Amino acid sequence: MRYRKLGTSGLDVSVLGLGTNAFGGRADKDTSIRVLHHAVDNGITFIDTANIYTGTKSEEIIGEAFEGRRHEVILATKAGMKRGDGPNSSGSSRQHIFQEIEGSLKRLRTDYIDLYQIHAFDPKTPLDETLRALDDLVSSGKVRYVGASNYSAWQLMKSLAISDKRQLTQYVSVQPGYSLADRGVERELLPFCSDQGIGVIPYFPLAGGILTGKYSGGSVPSGSQLDKNPNFAQRMDAARMELGERVAKIAAEIGTSATALSLAWLMHQPAVSTVIAGATREAQIDENLKAVELELSQDVLQALNEASEEFIYSPPFGSAPRRK
């Protein structure tokens, strides 16, 4: 395994992380625990979850899996999405953040979160309030680092400016949708993160399986996103399906898999610290790990960039239906 700093922070993270939004859903508890242990046994230290994943089951499973092994992992979770019907049951207010951190700590069976992320920008709460609340969590020892998810470049810039002015803890990372099939972040967010030293943590790195080649020829494998969620078909437009075929062809030419190639391409991009790929079987972990040591030539990188160039300007992959 290779490790990188998360942005300009001192925190080392594995270049390949594990996304867990299927745990307690498409993967049952016992399977999820086996996947988690297999990941960590193979050097994956960055485990990403959220308080809303599978109705909190993801956090609960992770907490159970790592009892006695907490020191081996970097736990990243999120708050901010809707958690109930009350007036303070969503967003990034002090009230909601302080309420949700306690639930996450209990479910994860830990007394601190390594990376606590605001799940989405909240236009109804002043950033000063959000950042002060996060600063208090860091000061209390309940959180070690803070990050953002689904922030645009201007939202992240405003956050950093407020933190600098108020001398508050700063976001060290941002989590956007990013893959060969979803390159819109390259227009503004990635150059900004490179300039400001913010670590980028791509989610949906395989575009829901499109970039693995599993849907080649119109097949729908049992247990896949499309098999379990027919609404997922709305994201599988013809252009992205064609891209999947082209990536698979390039991968075959250099003797690797489409999965490994797609993940490795992300690992070669500026500011990317760790790539969170989901897994519901141990074999998927093994396949994803092939990307870690895969060095891509300039010719291969150029071929992939040219094949996916149109997706710099396309609507985000996760825009419909609403992801997460």
> What is the model's pLDDT at position 216?
67
- Give the pLDDT band (50/70/90) at residue 231: low
Averaged over 314-318, what is the pLDDT?
A: 87
Torsion (CA) 24, 30, 35, 40 in degrees, nearest 10: 110
For residues 104 and 264, give the distance between their C-alpha atoms in angstroms, rounded to a whole number: 31
- Per-residue pLDDT at 230 exceeds 70: no
For the chain, how many helices (H) and strands (E)?
11, 10
Rounded mean pLDDT, 3-28: 97
Mean pLDDT for 160-176 is: 98
How many Å apart are CA 217 and CA 248, to the nearest integer? Answer: 12
Rounded Cα–Cα distance for residues 115 and 181 (Å): 27
Q: Which CATH architecture has domain 3-206+267-293?
A: Alpha-Beta Barrel (3.20)
What Cα–Cα distance (Å) separates residue 250 from each residue in 193, 241, 255, 256, 297?
A: 29, 15, 9, 9, 12
How far apart (Å, rounded) are the C-alpha atoms in residues 219 and 215?
A: 5
Concatenating the DSSP letter of every residue in 140-184 gives HTSEEEEEEES--HHHHHHHHHHHHHHT---EEEEE-B-BTTB-G
Give me the pLDDT at residue 321, please.
Answer: 40
Gap between the Cα atoms of 159 and 65, Å rounded: 34
pLDDT of residue 323: 36
Q: Cα(321)–Cα(324) distance, rounded to whole angstroms?
A: 10
3-state secondary structure of 14: strand
Token couple for 320? 């419909």
What is residue 224's predicted lDDT score, i.e. its pLDDT?
Answer: 55
Query: Is 171 considered catalytic here?
Result: no
Looking at residues 152-159, what average pLDDT do you find? 98
How many C-beta atoms surround the C-beta of residue 174 within 10 A? 30
The structure's pTM equals 0.93
Which stretches of 35-167 are assigned E, i.e. beta strand?
Answer: 46-48, 74-79, 113-118, 143-149
What are the extents of the domains in the chain? 3-206+267-293
The mean pLDDT value of the chain amounts to: 93
- Please give the Cα distance from 63 to 314 (Å, whole number): 38
Q: Tens digits of per-residue pLDDT, 247-299?
A: 999 999 999 999 999 999 999 999 999 999 999 999 999 999 999 999 999 99
Q: What percent of the chain has pLDDT over 90?
A: 86
Residue 186, judged by CB atoms within 10 A of its CB (0-12, 13-18, 19+), counts as: middle
Distance of CA 321 to the CA centre of its chain: 18
* Torsion angle of C-alpha atoms 215, 201, 174, 78, degrees rounded to 10: 80
**Active site residue: 3, 53, 116, 203, which one?**
53
pLDDT above 70: percentage of residues in the chain: 92
113-118 and 74-79 as β-strands: parallel, antiparallel, unpaired? parallel
- Average pLDDT on 112-119 reads 98
Instruction: Provide the 10 A C-beta neighbour count for residue 94.
Output: 15
CA distance 197 to 7: 5
